[in-house]
Amino acid sequence: MKVNIANMANSKRLNLRFGLRSKLLLLSSFLFVIPWFGYQYVWEMEKYLRFGQEQTLVGTARALATALHEREKLFNNQASFLPNVEQGKDLYGYKLTEAVNLDGLANDWPDFNQRTHFYNQQQQLFANEPLSLNFKASVGKYNNYLYLFFQVVDNRVIFRGENTRSISNNDHLALSFSDANNKLNRFIISNKKAGWISAFALADDSAIPAPAPQIQGHWLPTPQGYNVELRVPLDNLGDNIAFAFYDVDKNNGEAVSAIGSADPSNEESLGTIVVPSPEIERIVKGMRYTNSSIWVVDQHHRVLASAGSLKSASGVWHAKEQQPKEEEKNSLWYQFKQQFLLPLYYKILTKPSTDFIDQLYDAQHLQGSHIVNALGGKATSQWRLTTDKKALVLSAAYPIFINNQVKGAVIVEETTNGIRSLRNRALEKLFTVILAIMSLGALTFILFASRISSRIRQLSNQAELAIDKQGRIIGQMQASNSNDEIGDLSRSFTTAVNRLSEYNHYLENMSARLSHELRTPIAVVKTSLDNLSLLENQQAQTDKSNNPYIERAQTGIKTLNLILTNMSEATRLEQMLSSTEKIDFDLQQVVKGCISGYQQIYPAMQFNLNIDVNTPKPSTFLMHGSPEHIVQLLDKVVSNSVEFSQDNIITIELKKSSNKHDAELLISNNGILLPEQLSESLFDSMVSLRDENQKTQDKQAVPHLGLGLYISRLICQFHQGSISAYNHQNPAGVTVHISLPTKV
Amino acid sequence: MSKRIAIVEDEAAIRENYADVLRSQGYQVQTYADRSSATQAFNLRLPNLVILDIGLNDEYDGGFVLCQQLRAKSATLPIIFLTARDNDFDTVSGLRIGADDYLTKDISLPHLTARISALFRRQEALKKPINDDHITRSGALTVDSQRMSIMWQNRSIDLTITEFWLVHALAKNPGHVKNRTQLMTDSKIYVDDSTITSHIKRIRKKFMQHDSSFDCIETVYGMGYRWLSANNIADDEG
């Protein structure tokens, strides 16, 4: 029994450490595999999307290239036929996105410093004196004008004299270009003062220069020299151009040196100019709806046309993010998503940046192995990171063939931002769904586990409550109606407990039943003996012999009868208790009366009654119950104590319990101690501690059935009290402790 | 003319033993083993006294049924239950349906015969005029030892022989505590303590039916019971 209890305690501790709930939670952690699979799946999807994007991009490049194949005219204009280009001489007109102000200041030229070319003695045309001149030049195209900007460093700036006819005896700019008909136009810009420029056209046949109002601009003196900013209408402009600055160091002097892109007076030596071609651009414009950034380059990597910007080129997969409707924005779910979920997701995910910087291409010149490959006649695509590594760019290049020769290439670029935001949205949804499934699943699991463990715990509590420490059935178990295994367990427990309780009941009633069954045969023997003794008596009167056997048999029958009466006492008591009415009485008075009675019954014993002197009122021990039965209880306990007493002193103590609700009665005798294993079951039916020695010493020869203390317990239970016995030391003995609730 | 006693008892040995001892006392005894034969005989002629067992063969309550039938025929016929059933419930039921006494089978034969003769004496006495010699009065209590009847405040209390002997024993010496053993001897029964307790309770109830303030039988815890006459109560209060 004790071992069992220890086992139960052990398993209970184990249960706490690793209960059903935690086991189920552990199992449910396999749910975490689902998001991982989802994540993998989305990654896989992204891979395929990228592959698709690559194909689409190559397709776009091919489509555009197809539109440009074999269209010589588009490229002839553009000096693309040159086998090579010479920096500074062959010029590139950058495409300006906004009109520039003709004020001589460079601040409205975008990226002026990167896009200028520096001219010094390497480009000098002649020098009669040591060079005191250099300049920077930048060329741009806006609308129908070619804009030129020159930043000239000159030690002495000589303007044209007020009354000077000559236009070349001062610092001046010579500008020559061929027109659409390949006819050379020559101009000289020669100012009398700073401000609007004065341009003169030089004609071959006439020596008199004529003003050229179509060339407009501004001449601005600077601390280092002067700036010239001017524009030429594009419809006059052919493919060739040259400009040169002539330096004059004294008033009305001859030019001492000149620096320029080429000799403006020599038609053969003129350099070329490339400006983004409006025709090609028109074709390319048709492709700008593809969400790509598109370039067309000539074989010198110079940009002929471009459309779209890489920042908005996020690919065909890019769908405009739908702005949520107003009511949707106000919904709790949206708020929750924005405030909690999305920040959480983006701890893992990265938002594609639209703020990246890509400096790989300058606007004039495109570099890259894919372009080299394309110009070599091979279509290629490549993945690369932007220079700040914030975005991944997909580039495809496709060659343009004219007369079986590669004359240029189409380059199409897109970022993967479209795919990435698509992936992010997919993952957002996936995460939301998974989060919902997992929290729902976990909740269900926890609820389920809690339900099961609480049911099992309830069952175990019930089982523990049904059987007390002594193994007595003290309550009925409620069978569960549920149809599952726990219900089965509960039902079989209930059946077991019920059967056990029936068996216990049978055992407890056994003595009563036995006594009832024995009563009739005993009555037969008894009446027969009585009759016999009557006959004997009549005979005895005649022959005066006395038969001692009848008397002995009668004594034996009497004892047998007494045993039977005692055996059924407990059952009769139970029946009586069930019909006993409770009345109010003073326990103190009952105890006092009983003790004085015992003193008479057991004259050899000394009874010491200690009633707690601290009790304030006589009504402290007022009880509601049956005083007769309390007396019976005292009778049983005291007679027990008397039998076991060795020094003939019985101490009875009556006091209030610490919680003030119970009266405590302690009856102690000094004598042999209770054996350990019996102290719990002492109050059970038919348990007796009297050993063989004592039985033989027992002078009264009253049979002991071990029912006395069982009856005591029945009476205590009837009064909602308790009874227990324990050993005390110095002097060694046994104390019976009775606790009865008082009426408060 | 000797009295006729009928014994209804299914156990032959006991039946014959009782019959023998009663015959030796000079009574005419008729014995019946079951209810049907007893009923037939009683329909012809009623005996002077009937001793009944409760359980008769298969009839668990056969004795009770028989008792009711007899009581219907005659209000004065003395009926004694002599049974193995010693529980309170059967005792109360037996007395309620009209038995004059309820005895368990462990009673000794002399005790049984003493009761039977007491019952006959009481019947005889009822026929005679009231003789003041046998009447003792103590406060509201009047005891007629010949008729074995008790009056409380001049009203008759219907008591069984056992109960009468108990009250008689207590009231004989008012103020003296009688312990249970003494009471058992006086009332010629041998039972356990709790049966005495329930006898006393029944007696109290019978008195209280007539006088709800009756409290003359006092329990002296641990010792027994005593009869308190008006003087004793006054003494206690004084």
Q: What is the pLDDT of residues B12-39, one digit of tens each?
A: 888 998 898 899 888 999 999 989 999 9
Q: Is residue A11 over pLDDT 50?
A: no
Q: Is B215 on the interface with A (CB under 8 A)?
A: no
**Tens of pLDDT, residues A544-577:** 556 778 888 888 888 888 777 777 777 777 777 8
Report the percentage of chain A scoring pLDDT > 90.
2
Task: Name the residue type at position A582.
Answer: K
What does the block give as tokens for A650?
């019985």
Please report the pLDDT score of residue B5 as a whole number: 93
pLDDT category of residue B237 using cuts at 50, 70 and 90: very low
Least confident of A95-104, A109-118, A317-326, B213-222: A317-326
Most confident region among A38-42, A707-711, B45-49 by mean pLDDT:
B45-49
Element containing residue A187 per DSSP (H, E): strand A184-189
pLDDT category of residue A319 using cuts at 50, 70 and 90: low
The predicted model gives A118-131 an average pLDDT of 83
Please report the pLDDT score of residue A696 as a whole number: 44
Q: Is B85 on the interface with A (CB under 8 A)?
A: yes
Shortest Cα–Cα distance, B132 to chain A (Å): 37
Shortest Cα–Cα distance, A462 to chain B (Å): 35
Of A530, A565, A569, Cβ closest to residue B109: A530
Average pLDDT, whole number, for chain A? 79
pLDDT category of residue A205 using cuts at 50, 70 and 90: low
A531 compared with A620, residue with greater pLDDT: A531
User: Could you give the residue range(s) of every CATH 3.40.50.2300 domain in chain B?
Assistant: 4-126
Cβ atoms A497, A462 nearer than 8 A: no
Of B11, B190, B194, Cβ closest to residue A576: B194
Please state, in angstroms and as integers, the Cα–Cα distance from residue A251 to each residue in A159, A228, B138, following that order.
Answer: 8, 20, 174
User: From CA A408, how far away is CA A411, in angstroms rounded?
Assistant: 10
Q: Is residue A352 over pLDDT 90?
A: no
A236 compared with A412, residue with greater pLDDT: A412
- Residues of chain A with Cβ-Cβ distance to B109 below 8 Å are 527, 530-531, 534
User: From CA A463, how far away is CA A466, in angstroms rounded?
Assistant: 5
Q: Is residue A173 over pLDDT 60?
A: yes
Please report the pLDDT score of residue A212 as a whole number: 86
Q: Among all residues of chain A, which has the CA nearest to that of B179?
A: A597
pLDDT category of residue A8 using cuts at 50, 70 and 90: very low
Least confident of A133-142, A657-666, B116-125: A657-666
Q: Among all residues of chain B, which has the CA nearest to that of A589?
A: B221
Report the percentage of chain B scoring pLDDT > 70.
94
User: From CA A653, how far away is CA A586, in angstroms rounded?
Assistant: 15
Q: Is residue A5 over pLDDT 50?
A: no
Q: Is B68 on the interface with A (CB under 8 A)?
A: no
Of B106, B195, B198, Cβ closest to residue A519: B106
Fold for the domain defined by B4-126: Rossmann fold (3.40.50)
A523 contacts B221? CB cut-off 8 A: no
Q: Is B105 on the interface with A (CB under 8 A)?
A: yes
pLDDT category of residue A445 using cuts at 50, 70 and 90: confident
pLDDT category of residue A43 using cuts at 50, 70 and 90: confident
ipTM: 0.77
- Residues of chain B with Cβ-Cβ distance to A591 below 8 Å are 221
The predicted model gives B43-67 an average pLDDT of 89
Please state, in angstroms and as integers, the Cα–Cα distance from residue B197 to each residue in B85, B88, B235, following that order.
Answer: 18, 11, 26
* Torsion angle (degrees, nearest 10) of CA B219, B223, B228, B234: -100
Please report the pLDDT score of residue A545 as a whole number: 58
Cβ atoms B152, B211 nearer than 8 A: yes
User: From CA A49, how far away is CA A44, in angstroms rounded?
Assistant: 9
Least confident of A300-304, A587-591, B129-133: B129-133
Q: Is B20 on the interface with A (CB under 8 A)?
A: yes
Please report the pLDDT score of residue A24 as a whole number: 76
Cβ atoms B50, B8 nearer than 8 A: yes
Q: Is B222 on the interface with A (CB under 8 A)?
A: yes
pLDDT category of residue B126 using cuts at 50, 70 and 90: confident
Shortest Cα–Cα distance, A605 to chain B (Å): 15
User: From CA A100, how far away is CA A108, in angstroms rounded?
Assistant: 6
The predicted model gives A72-86 an average pLDDT of 63
A573 contacts B110? CB cut-off 8 A: no
Least confident of A54-63, A111-120, A146-155, B50-59: A111-120
Report the percentage of chain A scoring pLDDT > 70.
86
Q: Among all residues of chain A, which has the CA nearest to that of B9?
A: A520
A600 contacts B17? CB cut-off 8 A: no
Q: Is residue A741 over pLDDT 80?
A: yes
Fold for the domain defined by B129-237: Arc Repressor Mutant, subunit A (1.10.10)
Work out the widest C-alpha separation in chain B, in whole angstroms: 63
Cβ atoms A523, B84 nearer than 8 A: yes
Shortest Cα–Cα distance, B212 to chain A (Å): 16
- Burial (CB count within 10 angstroms: exposed 0-12, middle 13-18, buried 19+), residue A608: exposed
Please report the pLDDT score of residue B50 as a whole number: 93
Please state, in angstroms and as integers, the Cα–Cα distance from residue A31 to each residue in A21, A434, A436, A484, following that order.
Answer: 16, 9, 12, 26
Task: Name the residue type at position A708.
Answer: G
The predicted model gives B73-97 an average pLDDT of 85
Calculate ∠ Cα A178-A183-A188, nearest 5°. 60
Most confident region among A519-533, B59-73, B132-146 by mean pLDDT:
B59-73
Of A527, A572, A635, Cβ closest to residue B18: A527
Of A516, A526, A631, Cβ closest to residue B221: A631
Q: Is residue A602 over pLDDT 50?
A: yes
A530 contacts B108? CB cut-off 8 A: yes
pLDDT category of residue A371 using cuts at 50, 70 and 90: confident
The predicted model gives A698-709 an average pLDDT of 59
User: Could you give the residue range(s) of every CATH 1.10.10.10 domain in chain B?
Assistant: 129-237
B21 contacts A527? CB cut-off 8 A: yes
The full DSSP string for A485-502 is: HHHHHHHHHHHHHHHHHH
The predicted model gives A145-161 an average pLDDT of 88
Please report the pLDDT score of residue B27 as a whole number: 92
Q: What is the pairing mode between strands B224-227 and A662-671?
A: unpaired
User: From CA A521, how far away is CA A202, in angstroms rounded?
Assistant: 164
pTM of the complete model beyond 0.90: no
Q: Among all residues of chain A, which has the CA nearest to that of B178?
A: A597
The predicted model gives A24-28 an average pLDDT of 77
Q: Is B151 on the interface with A (CB under 8 A)?
A: no
A589 contacts B221? CB cut-off 8 A: yes
Q: Among all residues of chain A, which has the CA nearest to that of B11?
A: A520
Q: Is residue A79 over pLDDT 60?
A: no
- Residues of chain B with Cβ-Cβ distance to A632 below 8 Å are 193-194
Please report the pLDDT score of residue B29 as a whole number: 93
A519 contacts B84? CB cut-off 8 A: yes
Buried b (16+ CB within 10 A) or exposed e, A110-127: eeeeebbbebeeebbbeb
A631 contacts B222? CB cut-off 8 A: yes
User: From CA B127, how far away is CA B145, in angstroms rounded?
Assistant: 15
The predicted model gives B47-67 an average pLDDT of 89
Q: Is residue A501 over pLDDT 90?
A: no
Of A520, A528, A628, Cβ closest to residue B197: A628
Chain A with chain B: Cβ pairs closer than 8 A: 103
Mutate to test the interface with B, among A514, A515, A519, A527 (most CBs of B within 10 A): A527
B17 contacts A524? CB cut-off 8 A: yes
**Tens of pLDDT, residues B148-186:** 888 888 888 888 888 888 888 888 888 888 888 888 888
The predicted model gives B109-121 an average pLDDT of 86
